[in-house]
Amino acid sequence: MKKTITQILSITLLLSCVFTLSAQNSKDKYDHWAIDLGAGIHTVGASLSPGYNPSLFGQGSLGIRYMLNNRFGLRLDLGYSSFQDEAALPFKSNYYRASLEGVVNMGDVLKFHTWTNRFNLMMHGGVGAASLNITEPTDNGGDPMMALNFGITPQFRINNRMSLFLDFSSLIHFYQDDNFDGGPNLSPRESNISLFNTSLGLSFALGKNKQLADSYFMEEVVVNDELEEIKNRLAAAEKEIEVLKNKELAATPNQELIMTELDERYVRKDEADKYANVVTGSNVDFIRQLLNSGYINVYFDVNKTRIQDGSLNSVNYLKQFLIDNPTVNAELIGYADETGSEERNKTLSQNRAKRVFDVLVAAGISPARLSYYGGGEDKSVTEDARQFARKVTFKLK
């Protein structure tokens, strides 16, 4: 028994050292620490004498988890099980375990966020120590053993701080001398799947952010390398505009040339004629009318918040217009197609608007001049034209 206690304390100390070295980054928008509390049923898979059938109920677990990021983490898993059977020779036994496990957020690996924001899947596995203490019909004084623990954990997000989970775990024991009923284990040196645990429980985030790392979607943050890529694409678009400005056409001033190019790209001749009465010498009103009327939009792929390459010029055009007109503010409205749920479309459309907002701010536009919100599903287009619904539109003020 002393050996078991020593092993458990060693695991706890090791986990504490790892957690101390992995101090939480204050910039993260999720909590690294979490508690997993579960209870349920167990089934003995091996090391049981013939004729015994222990009760299913009587197991619980406590997990103290630290997520290094929203995909990988470590956990100290503590468990207890109680076995008894009122057979011809009744028995009672208690089982204690502690293990250090690695945790993988498979929902993030498999991109569950592209089709759900409620369900998730975790996997865990590790090694630890266990002790089987027989109390009836005799007291064995404790049977220490080594244990491997593997499991999968489907989750349902209740809110950002709490998730309901259903855990399926298998425990493999080494060096088990006694059966769970107190009889001798005839093959103690052989490993076997001794226990199957099924637990229902809750996971709680611990921290000021009130956000579980497992349900946090990293695409909500503009990642540095992706932002750098967007900056490079914006720079390329600016070069194209510069080439356009420098075209030598004797009869057409540069400002008129840009407007002529805009007309050719975004406006049919009959539409341009319709708005001819608002064109002023500076063309500001005309450009405002084009932007507000939806001639220039930013488009996205299905379930994505990454701006399509062909839409970067639209973002750059708005950026340049705001630079040239410092008194003008812009509102960004995101939309989604009809394929998702109402809640999903609202979140996705807002994330798209936020992405354009981040790019404009990174390009030098003051955030005080910008606002954004998600408009949800764009009901102005039909199912056959849903690619035009996945967009962000502009409203100049």
Q: What CATH number corresponds to the domain at position 260?
A: 3.30.1330.60
Residues 170, 229: one domain? no
Residues 160, 182: one domain? yes
What is the distance between the alpha carbons of residues 5 and 369, in angstroms, rounded to a whole number? 62
pLDDT tens readout for residues 34-43: 999 999 999 8
Residues 129, 206: one domain? yes
What is the distance between the alpha carbons of residues 291 and 324, in angstroms, rounded to a whole number? 15
pLDDT at 15: 52
Integer angstrom CA distances of residue 115 from 111, 209, 344, 385: 8, 25, 8, 21
pLDDT at 241: 59
Higher pLDDT, 383 or 73: 73
Residues 209, 226: one domain? no
Answer whether residue 124 shows pLDDT above 50. yes
Number of other residues whose CB lies within 10 A of the CB of residue 223? 10
Q: Are 121 and 154 in contact (CB under 8 A)?
A: yes
Q: What's the whole-number mean pLDDT along residues 48-76?
A: 89
What is the distance between the alpha carbons of residues 104 and 237, in angstroms, rounded to a whole number? 40
**% of the chain with per-residue pLDDT over 90:** 39
pLDDT tens readout for residues 216-250: 765 444 445 556 666 676 677 667 656 655 554 44
User: Which of 278, 282, 306, 280 is CA-nearest to residue 293?
Assistant: 278
pLDDT at 394: 92
What is the distance between the alpha carbons of residues 343 and 330, in angstroms, rounded to a whole number? 25
Domain count across the chain:
2
Among residues 217, 242, 263, the one where a domain terminates is 217
User: In the chain, which residue ranges form alpha helices assigned H by DSSP?
Assistant: 2-21, 106-109, 224-245, 254-266, 269-274, 284-292, 312-324, 342-362
pLDDT tens readout for residues 386-397: 888 999 999 998
Q: Which two tokens stand for residue 292?
A: 């507000």
Indicate left, alpha or beta for 273 from its phi (over 0: left) and psi (-120 to 50: alpha): alpha
Domain of 213, in residue numbers: 2-217
Q: Which two tokens stand for residue 323?
A: 């630079």
Q: Are 22 and 66 in contact (CB under 8 A)?
A: yes
User: Which of 129, 134, 40 is CA-nearest to residue 84?
Assistant: 134
Average predicted confidence (pLDDT) for the chain: 80
ω before 137 within 30° of 0 (cis)? yes
Whole-prediction pTM = 0.54
Answer whether residue 327 shows pLDDT above 60. yes
pLDDT tier at 189 (50, 70, 90 boundaries)? low
Answer whether residue 273 shows pLDDT above 90. no
Among residues 217, 238, 272, the one where a domain terminates is 217
Q: Are 296 and 314 in contact (CB under 8 A)?
A: yes
Q: Can you say how many angstroms the Cα of residue 347 is from the centroid of all Cα atoms in its chain?
A: 14
Residues 226, 208: one domain? no
Residues 245, 192: one domain? no
Report DSSP letters for 92-115, one per residue: EEEEEEEEEEEEEEHHHHTTGGGT
Residues 206, 293: one domain? no
Answer whether residue 105 shows pLDDT above 70. yes
Q: Which of 7-11, 22-26, 284-288, 289-293 has the highest mean pLDDT?
A: 289-293
Q: What's the whole-number mean pLDDT along residues 326-342?
A: 91
